[in-house]
Structure 1
Amino acid sequence: MSCRDLNETAATPEMVFCHTVSGVGLFELRPLSSADFGLLHQWVTAPRASFWGMQQATPEEVAHCYRQQIESAHCAPYLAFYAGQPAFLLETYDPAHDELGQHYAVQAGDIGMHFLVAPASGPAVHGFTRAVMQTILAFLFSQSRHLRVVVEPDVNNQKIHPINRDAGFCYQHTIELSYKTAWFAICDRASFLQATELETTA
């Protein structure tokens, strides 16, 4: 399915990836823009975003954080849409230029990521967060330079660990980052494709 043409306003970046998850629907991703900062402030300061670590952030602090990511050569943030509405935030980063890179042997082709699902605006969609994860990995592995996706979820974030494992992440060991105790986990392309195939045939 082709992406919608969003050239109506020059300030809105074009969609760069589309992915359909069976039983859930179509997701679309575009680069984050400064016009999104107000929306992100609502998301990151909500009680449900406690593991994001920005609940006390001001709008100016949120804008500064994401402006830095947009301008960085080592990060790339995206806003994703579902059914035409903002659905989740994706942050990608080069672990060689991140604190995580001090805790494992970074390999060429590694990419790190974080994601935050938007507050629900309608009836719950069964399997939505797993569909978000599948979309993220499909997007990252669609780029040949990405060989492994690495993550460092908070050890206390019990909801994300089964989602990560179901998507193909292999949990390695815990690490002590400056701001949290985290699990370090890796997913390569083969593991993701195998996990996706198992889900499709289940």
Structure 2
Amino acid sequence: MTDTDMTFTFRPVDPLAHGELLHSWVTHPKASFWMMQDAKLEDVERAYMEIAADEHHHALLGLRGGVPVFLMEKYDPAHRELTGLYEAQPGDAGMHFLVAPTDTPVHGFTRAVITAVMAHLFEDPEVKRVVVEPDVRNTAVHALNEAVGFVPEREIQKPEKKALLSFCTREQFTAATRVAA
């Protein structure tokens, strides 16, 4: 596999089998906006067991060449995360993603990941628009979101953070990335 091979596959998270891996990712200093810096292994396993049992929230590992390299979460914003903070529309899907920490970064990798995550979400014909709510201070992810077609709407106050509510339709994603959705 070369650095230019940015083909990814997706697999559901197994909270116990993947717990140690996820723990190492979410507690890494580069994952500060994931807000699990002080989590113990049991905390991570419990959090992902709750997601696995939730019909409105799903966690997937992204693999490159069979090796886990990122985490993505898909949620229904009418029922999780954004309930009461905006008017959810039919076809909205919420999304989070986290790229595994590495000592050997590959140029363009994170952009390839978010593009793959968005394409994966839009593979579901029911998904009309993706909603994100990153921390307002996370300027790196704001730039990535913009690169794949997200348009910020407004700042919102969540219990754990001030967030930038942003939306991306299929058409905006395709226009920004030239990836058919």
TM-score (norm 2): 0.93
The aligned counterpart of 2:75 is 93
1 or 2, which has the higher helix percentage?
1
The aligned counterpart of 1:37 is 19
Paired residue total: 176
Match status 1:158 vs 2:146: no
- Whichever of the two has the greater Rg, that structure is 1
Which amino acid letter does the alignment assign opposite residue 101 of structure 2?
P
The aligned counterpart of 1:50 is 32
Identity score, percent: 45
Q: Per the alignment, do residues 99 and 31 of structure 1 end up closer, same or farther by CA in structure 2, a change over 3 Å counting? A: closer
Note the residue ranges of structure 1 that are not aligned, 5 or more in a row. 1-21
Q: Which runs of 4+ in 1 moved over 3 A?
A: none
Mapped partners of 1:162, 1:181: distance in 2: 17
Following TM superposition, by how much is the alpha carbon of 1:86 offset from its aligned partner in structure 2, in angstroms? 1.0
Mapped partners of 2:101, 2:67: distance in 1: 11
Following TM superposition, by how much is the alpha carbon of 1:24 offset from its aligned partner in structure 2, in angstroms? 4.2
RMSD: 1.4
Match status 1:105 vs 2:87: yes
Q: 8 Å contact 1:24–1:128 — kept in the other structure?
A: no
Q: Deviations over 1:151-171 (max 9, x none)?
A: 001000111111100100010
> Which residue among 172, 175, 178 is the counterpart of 1:194?
175
The aligned counterpart of 1:8 is none
Superposition pairs of residues 1-202 of structure 1, within 5 angstroms: 23-33=4-14, 34-120=16-102, 123-197=104-178
Mapped partners of 1:133, 1:80: distance in 2: 11
